[in-house]
Structure 1
Amino acid sequence: MENPRPEKVAVVNEVRRRFSESDAVLLTEYRGIKVSEMAQLRAALRQAGGEYTVYKNTLVRFAARELGLDLEDQLTGPTAIAFVPTGGGGDPVSVAKALREFAKGNPNLVIKGGVLGEKLLSAGDADALADVAPREELLARLAGLMAAPMQQFAGLLQAVPRSFAYGLAALIEQKGGAPEASAPAAEESAEAEAPAAEVEVEDAPAAEEAAADDTAADAPESDAPEVSASDATETPEASADADAAPEAQTDDAPADAEADTQEG
């Protein structure tokens, strides 16, 4: 523009700034739309987080050139632009859905294309953008995907003690009931008695040897003949009688022999 008027320069700067500060920009043609219908469309876009403004194609063209955007094919006919400001809480998908929803009831509204980030959008791209799920739904899906592993992990932690309890109950049932409380005490008692038994076994040979020695010492005394006090104090008369008895028997023998001879 040669010697542009300040008002036009201000508009070009405004369009350039709004392009730079928006997540998405959608260009539409509003030929034949009534003022009341335009107000309804603005309200719907505002609710979706968008701003709808009418600009002259010439001024938009200058701003697009300064930004390096090729929008020549889309700047035909009366143009109104739907901006989705960055950080304004708006969603490009929701704005695209609002435009398409309004166009269903009013064919005079034509979506020509736009810009998403640094990517140019054709009319088909803008229509496809309206088919994408809203940001809230996408965030909910993402949160669900992120929460699923945590839920599975929590379920696993809950299943471990539950499985252990089931396994323990099955083991007790297989063994015929719960083990008696005295079992550990009995085991400890058996372990305590085992060393004592070993000590007794080790002492047994020594005891047997001592008993054998005592038996050997007592053996001569038990085998020796006992001598009574009467035998030890035998009188001379008894000894003489004992010595005379054989002689008497000897003397009697010949007498018997002689008696037998005489009778014969």
Structure 2
Amino acid sequence: MALSKAKKTEKIEQLTKELEGSTSAIVGTFAKLTVAQDFELRKTVRAAGGRYRVLKNKLAARASKGSQIEEALQGLKGVSSVAYTSGDPVALAKALATWVEENAQFTFKLGIVDGKVINVDEVKALATMPGKEEIFSKLLFLINAPAQRLATVVNATGRDLAVVINQAVEQNKFSGEQASA
């Protein structure tokens, strides 16, 4: 069904608002996707903090002008859809990659992360990277580890002294009797 010019303008404005805050996107294509599979895909993308839209290629190209994902949505061919987020791109890529393993009807075309276009292999590599939360926890562990070791060493002196004194008391070294020389 052909869209009227007013409807196209409305759709472009709506998509433009959604894409303005997006920092990363993954563009894909699908064939013979059932309604149930589409529902599950959308649910998976929402759970990862993203949004999912099936695109009209020319409308997407117009709507993305001025956004960080503009380059990815220019010159699309065939049936296209986009999953986009302003949050963690790794979480979105992981969610999509997991879903694609079970549903071969969806394939990746390309992606864009912080304004840089990435190919299909890089999208798959992005899905294997640790997420922001995991990287932050590892970084905090690495920052905390030297301080924790220092505290252990500082406390060891007092603990070792207490152990030596306790052993001396147990062996009656402090009984008050002095050995004659």
Question: Partners of 2:66 and 2:163 in 1: how far apart?
Answer: 74
Give the aligned residue type for 1:98.
Answer: A
Q: Deviations over 1:73-106 (max 9, x none)?
A: 76111111112134xxxx3212211211222222
- Structure possessing the higher relative contact order (Cα contacts under 8 Å, 6 or more residues apart): 2
Contact 2:72-2:112 at 8 Å conserved across structures:
no
More strand by percentage:
2
Match of 1:100 in 2: 97
Give the aligned residue type for 1:47.
Answer: A
Contact 1:27-1:74 at 8 Å conserved across structures:
no
| CA spacing shift, 1:83–1:35, aligned 2, 3 Å | same
Contact 2:93-2:124 at 8 Å conserved across structures:
yes
Match of 2:11 in 1: 11
| CA spacing shift, 1:35–1:11, aligned 2, 3 Å | same
| CA spacing shift, 1:33–1:163, aligned 2, 3 Å | same
Match of 1:82 in 2: 83
Tell me the C-alpha RMSD between the 2 structures.
2.8
- TM-superposed CA distance for 1:120, in Å, is 1.6
- Matched residue SS, 1:25: strand
- TM-superposed CA distance for 1:55, in Å, is 1.8
- TM-superposed CA distance for 1:131, in Å, is 0.8
Query: Matched residues, percent identical?
Result: 25
Question: Partners of 1:72 and 1:19 in 2: how far apart?
Answer: 11
Number of aligned positions between the proteins: 171
Q: TM-score, normalised by structure 1?
A: 0.56
More helix by percentage:
1
Give the aligned residue type for 1:10.
Answer: E
Question: Partners of 1:72 and 1:38 in 2: how far apart?
Answer: 21
Contact 2:60-2:73 at 8 Å conserved across structures:
no
- Matched residue SS, 1:133: coil
Question: Partners of 2:99 and 2:116 in 1: how far apart?
Answer: 25
Task: Structure 1: give runs of 5+ residues left out of the alignment.
Answer: 182-264
Q: TM-score, normalised by structure 2?
A: 0.79
Contact 1:18-1:85 at 8 Å conserved across structures:
no
Question: Partners of 1:76 and 1:178 in 2: how far apart?
Answer: 90
Match of 1:50 in 2: 50
Question: Partners of 1:51 and 1:126 in 2: how far apart?
Answer: 17
Question: Computing the radius of gyration over CA atoms, which structure comes out larger, 1 or 2?
Answer: 1
Match of 1:132 in 2: 129
- Matched residue SS, 1:77: coil
Contact 2:54-2:81 at 8 Å conserved across structures:
yes
Q: 1:178 aligns with which of 167, 171, 174?
A: 174
- Matched residue SS, 1:120: strand
- TM-superposed CA distance for 1:169, in Å, is 6.7
Give the aligned residue type for 1:76.
Answer: K
Task: Structure 2: give runs of 5+ residues left out of the alignment.
Answer: none
| CA spacing shift, 1:128–1:74, aligned 2, 3 Å | farther
